[in-house]
């Protein structure tokens, strides 16, 4: 994942974006508006969360750029039924990536399962504390994947910060087509259409 994040920073640099001098702090539940904190806790329980006061600790933002723009890179593990549930919320309809990501969640869940349906991609001690025991690998009926649920919830925390907490966030998926090439191809070295990339980032930016 880090290699692809570095590749994203590189192609964004080719399009004229510059990394911020210091990285933004990671999102925290307490940094959200009170009503958004409650919405995240409601989503946590809707995804099968078992704790009254869960410790939710998302990782750092992927790419923090000059001017306050944050760009998140979403690979195959971000598209499945749990992520779809977070995007079906009324507040999420304001996000410029919502409609496309809902489609990706149905279209690419099988890829998510094939590439991230086992081992620590599927479950961990920490995620089972949040969501209970995992089901069998790649079996999404029943208990399913605690790790996938955690990832979907943390994506929702980032999303809701872009709706109500002043975060300028753009989400880019490896499946996105930009100037005739997929983002995945561009990350793997295919030449970048700089103007098309800048236009696409603008279209995908939620203004907070």
The pLDDT of residue 176 is above 80: yes
State the pLDDT confidence band at 166, using cuts at 50, 70 and 90.
confident
Q: Are strands 63-64 and 168-173 parallel, antiparallel or unpaired?
A: unpaired
Question: For 42-92, how does the pLDDT look when each residue is reduced to its tens digit (9 = 90+)?
Answer: 999 999 999 999 999 999 999 999 999 999 999 999 999 999 999 999 999
The confidence score (pLDDT) of residue 25 equals: 76
- 77 near 114, Cβ under 8 Å? no
Decide if 175 contacts 183 (C-beta within 8 A).
Answer: yes
The domain spans of the chain are: 2-206
pLDDT at 105 over 70: yes
List 206's β-bridge partners, or say none.
169
Q: Is residue 195 predicted with pLDDT exceeding 80? A: yes
Q: Once rounded to an integer, what is the mean pLDDT over residues 154-168? A: 95
């Amino acid at each position: 994942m880090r290699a692809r994040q570095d590749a994203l920073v590189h192609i964004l640099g080719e399009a004229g974006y510059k990394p911020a001098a210091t990285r933004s702090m990671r999102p925290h539940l307490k940094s959200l508006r009170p009503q958004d904190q409650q919405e995240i806790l409601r989503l946590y329980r809707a995804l099968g969360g078992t704790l009254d006061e869960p410790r939710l600790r998302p990782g750092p933002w992927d790419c923090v750029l000059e001017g306050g723009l944050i760009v998140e890179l979403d690979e195959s593990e971000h598209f499945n039924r749990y992520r779809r549930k977070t995007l079906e919320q009324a507040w999420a309809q304001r996000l410029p990536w919502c409609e496309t990501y809902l489609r990706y969640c149905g279209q690419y869940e099988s890829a998510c399962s094939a590439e991230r349906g086992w081992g620590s991609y599927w479950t961990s001690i920490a995620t089972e504390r949040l969501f209970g025991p995992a089901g069998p690998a790649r079996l999404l009926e029943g208990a399913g994947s605690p790790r996938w649920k955690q990832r979907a919830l943390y994506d929702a925390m980032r999303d809701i910060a872009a709706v109500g907490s002043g975060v300028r966030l753009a989400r880019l998926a490896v499946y996105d087509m930009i100037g005739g090439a997929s983002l995945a191809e561009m990350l793997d070295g295919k030449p970048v259409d700089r103007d098309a990339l800048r236009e696409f980032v603008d279209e995908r930016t939620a203004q907070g």
